[in-house]
Amino acid sequence: MEKKLIFGHKNPDTDSICSALVYADLKTKLGDNVEPVRLGVISSETAFVLNYFQVKEPRLVETVGNEVNEVILVDHNERQQSANDIEQVQVVEVIDHHRIANFETSNPLYFRAEPVGCTTTILKKMYKENGVDIPKEIAGLMLSAIISDTLLLKSPTCTAQDVAAAHELAEIAGVDLQAYGLEMLKAGADLSDKTIAQLLSLDAKEFQMGSAKVEIAQVNAVDVNDVLARQSELEAAISAIIAEKGLDLFVFVVTDILNNDSVALALGKATEAVEKAYNVTLADNKAVLKGVVSRKKQIVPVLTDTFQAL
Using pLDDT thresholds of 50, 70 and 90, give the confidence band for residue 222: confident
pLDDT over 70 for what percent of the chain? 100
The pLDDT tens digits of the residues spanning 243-276 come to: 999 999 999 999 998 888 999 999 999 999 999 9
The pLDDT tens digits of the residues spanning 121-140 come to: 999 999 999 999 999 999 99
Residue 9 assigned to a binding site: yes
Q: Write the CATH number for 136.
A: 3.90.1640.10
pLDDT of residue 310: 75
222 with 161, same domain: the answer is no
pLDDT of residue 242: 98
Give the domain-ending residue among 135, 159, 189.
Answer: 189
Q: Write the CATH number for 223.
A: 3.10.310.20
The pLDDT tens digits of the residues spanning 46-82 come to: 999 999 999 999 999 999 999 999 999 999 999 999 9
Instruction: Identify the three-state secondary structure at position 71.
Output: strand
- Can you give the pTM of this predicted structure? 0.85
149 with 257, same domain: the answer is no
Q: CB neighbours (10 Å) of residue 39?
A: 24
pLDDT of residue 309: 82
Residue 203 assigned to a binding site: no
Give the domain-ending residue among 168, 189, 210.
Answer: 189
125 with 247, same domain: the answer is no
- CA quadruple 54, 26, 73, 138: dihedral positive or negative? negative
Residue 167 assigned to a binding site: no
82 with 181, same domain: the answer is yes
247 with 161, same domain: the answer is no
Where in the sequence is the domain holding 285, given as residue range(s)? 196-309
169 with 299, same domain: the answer is no
The pLDDT tens digits of the residues spanning 87-123 come to: 999 999 999 999 999 898 999 999 999 999 999 999 9
48 with 175, same domain: the answer is yes
Please tell me the distance from the alpha carbon of residue 61 to that of residue 263, in angstroms, as a whole number: 33
Number of domains the chain contains: 2
Q: For the chain, give the mean pLDDT.
A: 95
Using pLDDT thresholds of 50, 70 and 90, give the confidence band for residue 149: very high
155 with 269, same domain: the answer is no
162 with 263, same domain: the answer is no
Give the domain-ending residue among 151, 172, 189.
Answer: 189
pLDDT of residue 227: 94
49 with 182, same domain: the answer is yes
Give the CA distances from residue 259 to residues 90, 262, 273, in Å, rounded to whole numbers and listed in that order: 43, 9, 25
Report CA dihedral (119, 8, 178, 124) to the nearest 10 degrees. Answer: 40
Q: What is the mean predicted confidence (pLDDT) over 228-234?
A: 96
Give the CA distances from residue 187 to residues 76, 114, 145, 170, 292, in Å, rounded to whole numbers and listed in that order: 24, 29, 14, 18, 21
Alpha helical stretches, state H, the chain: 14-29, 44-52, 119-129, 136-150, 160-173, 177-189, 196-201, 224-228, 231-245, 272-278, 300-309
The pLDDT tens digits of the residues spanning 150-208 come to: 999 999 999 999 999 999 999 999 999 999 999 999 999 888 889 999 999 988 999 99
12 with 88, same domain: the answer is yes
Residue 75 assigned to a binding site: yes
163 with 206, same domain: the answer is no
pLDDT of residue 5: 98
Please tell me the distance from the alpha carbon of residue 27 to that of residue 44, in angstroms, as a whole number: 27
